[in-house]
């Protein structure tokens, strides 16, 4: 079914599935680091969308999708750094990385 359809649809479906997996991971896992992993997956899924749209979009020479992807990667890197820094700091304070137990703002 997909094979007969546009190749873009395939990429979009993969991206959607990946996004959903990431979302599920972020929402269901207890460990804060895994929550971050889920978020990374979601960002990557978005990147795949961007690149796929750039490739099959009407104006590939404008490079818009690619630019977005590059910026997104940069932002994701920053997000990962800060997020993991936070997790480590929380672990230092609360001795846990379990998001279920991180229910207080004050250490």
Residues between 9 and 28 with contacts to another protein, criterion CB under 8 A: 9-14, 16-28
**Closest approach of Cβ 49 to another protein, in Å?**
10
Tokens of 3: 């094979």
Residue 100 found at the interface with another protein (CB under 8 A): yes
Binding mask 28-67 toward another protein (x if CB under 8 A, else -) reads xxxx-xx-xxx-xx--x--xx--xx-xxxxx-xx-x--xx
Look at residues 64, 82, 83 and name the one whose alpha carbon lies nearest to residue 72: 64
Residues 18 and 86: their CA atoms lie apart, in Å, by 25
- Counting every residue written for the chain, the total comes to 107
> Cβ of residue 39: shortest distance to another protein, in angstroms?
11
For 83, other C-beta atoms within 10 Å of its C-beta total 17
Cβ-Cβ contacts under 8 Å for 57 (sequence gap 6 or more): 64, 65
The 67-96 contact track toward another protein, x by CB under 8 A, reads x-xxx-xxxxxxxxxx-xxxxxx-xxx-xx
Q: Number of residues in contact with another protein, rule: CB under 8 A?
A: 78
Residue with smaller CB distance to another protein, 69 or 105: 69
């Amino acid at each position: 079914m997909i094979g007969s359809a546009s190749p873009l649809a395939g990429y979009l479906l993969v991206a959607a599935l990946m996004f959903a997996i990431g979302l599920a991971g972020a929402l269901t896992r207890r460990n804060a680091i895994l929550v971050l992993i889920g978020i990374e997956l979601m960002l990557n899924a978005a990147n795949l969308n961007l690149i796929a749209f750039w490739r099959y979009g009407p104006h590939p020479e404008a490079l818009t999708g690619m630019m977005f992807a590059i910026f997104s990667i940069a932002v994701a890197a920053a997000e990962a750094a800060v997020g993991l820094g936070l997790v480590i700091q929380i672990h230092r304070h609360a001795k846990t990385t379990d998001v279920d137990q991180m229910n207080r703002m004050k250490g």
